[in-house]
Every structure is written in C-alpha cells, then in structure tokens.
Amino acid sequence: MILCCGEALIDMIPTPTKSGTSGFVPHSGGAVFNTAIALGRLGVKAGMLTGLSSDMFGQQLIDGLQESGVDASHVIMSDRPTTLAFVRLQDGHATYSFYDENSAGRVVTPDDLPGLSPDVSALYFGGISLACEPGANAYAALLAQEGAGRAVMIDPNIRPKFIEDADQYRNRLNRMIALSDIVKVSDEDLNWITPGPASLEEKAASLRDQGATIIILTRGSKGPTGFLADGTEVNVTAQKAEVVDTVGAGDTFNAGVLAKLFELGALKKAKLHDLSAAELEAALAHGARVAAITVSRAGANPPWAAEL
C-alpha cells in the first residue's frame, strides 16, 4: 500500500448561479488527498493518513476516499473543524484563501499518529501539511520513524504565505528530503528551496547531494524532467490538453508517477537507486498523461484507470 500522509480539505469552487453571480460549491480536495484519490482510481492500493473532522465536510472527505477505493484506516478523527480553501480561478489557474486555524488536519501531533500496518510499502508526503505546525512536525516524525524500510516521495508544493518561520521550515524540509527517495519540485519550489543564481539542474543536483535519490522537476507546459541517482537527465514532453483549470494537476501527476513505478515493481528503496532511464521516462509520461485529463475538467477530478 502507498500511504499518503498530509492534508485533506474542502475546496470551495466558484460556480455561476441562476442570478448570474458566483457561489461556492464544496469539493473534496487538498494536495495529498488528491494524490490518494488519484492512486485509488488508477487501481493502486492506497491509503490516507490525515486528521479529519467529525463535521459534515469531514464525512464528505471520508466518503470520497471510500468511493475511490482508498483505505481510511489510518485517519485520525476529531471534533475540530475541516480546513476550507476558497478558490479563485483566473485564466484557468487557481489561487487560494485558506481557513485552517485549529483545524482537524492541522492539529495533529506525533502522539496522535497510529501505528502503520505491515502492508504499507511506500509513503507519500506533501502540500501545506509540511508547513503548518503542529501537523508538520508530526509528519516529519512519522518519516523519521517509518521511512527507513519504505520508499518515500515528497512534493513540498511550497506556498510561502503558509511559512511562519522560514528557517524552521527549511530545516524540517531538509531533514525530510535527506530521508526521501523521490523529491518532486516545480521550478518555483526549487528556486525557493535553493535560492541563488545557480541553474535549475545544479539546484536539482543539490537535492540529490542532500540524500534524495531521484529528483523530478516540473515546468508547466515544458513538461517534466527527471534526474536519476547518477545524474542522468530524462525529459518528457507535456501532454496537450484543453485546460479548464489546473486544480489538482500536480497532485494527479504525482499519482501517475507513483502508479507506474508501482506497476513496474520499482517503488522500492533499493530499486529506485538503480532505476533505469527508460523506467523513469515511463513514469513521467504516465504522470503527464493522467494530469492532462485532470486539467481538462473542473476541479480536482482525477481519471479512473478505464479512462486511460
């Protein structure tokens, strides 16, 4: 099982009403939730570890996990509210306003973490859950305790406005990168993590020097680039799509990459160190293909395997 560890929330998506003004419709979302849902729909055994509320939105998120075949046995329930993210769409691109104070997802501590079942073979971390404390510290502790024998992927998906203490965040993120096998970053993420005039390729190499095995760099319409443990560069062309919006695109891409590596029997620590260029190319291409379907429809609505 690939256990996705991090936020699940409600995206409030603007939708036209009969009066002509826009209202907001609640859609299940969150970067890590989206990846878990996409994995489940792609037919990969996936689970979710997160804090969920007992309120109506928490039940909506539980229902969404179950409907997509995602195991929810590692979910931590509480009576705190669900995180809400109000979405603004401009030319198909999404920006967010978050309401997250004292939420069920944010207030997760190391003491709340459940024991991991033996069938958890890989861990996935990402999103705002790596920036917002105390939950961020809980996920870092989980990786430190459970990551040694499992394949680990991280997508920091950095949003600077969530980072209250940049030095503390960098230190925690650097510790997690050092324990990871795959780190996926956008060009904006990489420039934030490693500021300065160096090239993106040089900055990606610095993440490998920290301990990560494989670096995946996304640059929107330019397509993803992967760097193997020995520095070999693999490039894949972006899939063409009629973009409705970009909500959940990167999260779905991550699921496509993980799903293909799982299918190839390559989602294991030892195997990732020896991954071939052809295997990485196949994983990146699958991620791009899955993401292209997601951006072609409204909201974070990943495809099912049959749609591929």
pLDDT digits (tens, 9 = 90+) for 98-145: 899 999 999 999 999 998 988 999 999 999 999 999 999 999 999 999
Distance set, CA 272 to CA 227, 228, 231 (Å): 12, 9, 13
DSSP annotation string for 133-187: TTHHHHHHHHHHHH-TTSEEEEE----GGG-S-HHHHHHHHHHHHHT-SEEEEEH
Q: For residue 282, name the pLDDT band (cuts at 50, 70, 90).
A: very high
Residues 6 or more apart whose Cβ sits within 8 Å of residue 14: 22, 23, 24, 87, 88, 89
pTM higher than 0.75, yes or no? Answer: yes
Q: Are 86 and 42 in contact (CB under 8 A)?
A: no
Q: Where are the alpha helices (DSSP H) in the chain?
A: 31-41, 56-67, 135-146, 166-178, 187-193, 200-210, 249-263, 269-273, 277-295
For residue 171, what are its two tokens?
Answer: 């230190």
Does residue 92 have a pLDDT over 70?
A: no
Burial status of residue 268 (CB atoms within 10 A of its CB: 0-12, 13-18, 19 or more): middle
**Is there a cis peptide before residue 26, judged by omega within 30 degrees of 0?**
no
Q: For residue 31, name the pLDDT band (cuts at 50, 70, 90).
A: very high
pLDDT tens figures, 143-189: 999 999 999 999 999 988 889 899 999 999 999 999 999 999 999 99
Distance of alpha carbon 38 from alpha carbon 170, whole angstroms? 29
Name which CATH class applies to 2-307: alpha beta
Distance of alpha carbon 75 from alpha carbon 120, whole angstroms? 14
